[in-house]
């Protein structure tokens, strides 16, 4: 998989835009300035930190999995285990500190959305852990022709999920109950 490359982020007044390519797909990232201010919520800042760690490892994996890359069993295995640890910590953070409090105490529409995001996260986490189990003792160079495209697709799904989670997390935290209160402070509020 190729890294997303393109022009630097451009400030267009109320919007930040970056365009580039991700493999054969043209990608445009457009973020409203209001989304950028949502970044100041403490949980969103921590979510961003977790996501940045995962995306950094994935971008290193993209280089290792490039179409003409030679299989490097050691580096791929190291990246896989590093990503496993980072994704595990990320999942525990967002379930315990973000989704679960909203599910228990948030408005019904936000609780349903948090439940949906948590279920999607669990499903993707299960898929990733199954991949890790399959690859633990796999001779990657011998299976490169099937391994590489399968992992490229899995990492693309993880990246897409991370992006969607960030967008939805901002809406769960900023648009509604309390734009300033951390989710952990929502425990005493009744569901609407």
Q: What is the pLDDT along the chain (192 residues), one digit of tens a residue?
A: 333 434 333 333 334 444 444 444 544 444 443 444 444 688 999 999 999 999 999 999 999 999 999 999 999 999 999 999 999 999 999 999 999 999 999 999 999 999 999 999 999 999 999 999 999 899 999 999 999 999 999 999 999 999 999 999 999 987 544 333 343 333 333 333
pTM over the 0.85 mark:
no
User: Pairing relation of β-strands 10-11 and 25-32?
Assistant: unpaired
């Amino acid at each position: 998989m190729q890294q997303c490359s393109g022009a630097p982020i451009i400030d267009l007044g109320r919007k930040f835009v970056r365009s580039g390519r991700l493999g054969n797909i043209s990608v445009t990232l457009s973020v409203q300035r209001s989304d950028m201010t949502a970044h100041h919520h403490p949980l969103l800042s921590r979510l961003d930190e977790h996501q940045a760690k995962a995306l950094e490892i994935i971008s290193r994996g993209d280089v290792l999995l490039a179409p003409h890359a030679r299989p490097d069993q050691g580096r791929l295995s190291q990246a896989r285990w590093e990503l496993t640890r980072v994704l595990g910590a990320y999942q525990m953070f967002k379930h315990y500190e973000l989704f679960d409090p909203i599910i228990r105490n948030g408005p019904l529409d936000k609780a349903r959305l948090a439940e949906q995001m948590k279920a999607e996260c669990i499903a993707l986490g299960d898929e990733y852990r199954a991949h890790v189990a399959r690859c633990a003792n796999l001779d990657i160079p011998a299976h490169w022709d099937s391994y590489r495209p399968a992992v490229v697709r899995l990492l693309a799904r993880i990246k897409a999920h991370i992006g969607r989670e960030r967008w939805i997390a901002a809406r769960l935290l900023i648009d509604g109950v309390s734009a300033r209160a951390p989710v952990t402070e929502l425990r005493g509020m009744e569901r609407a």
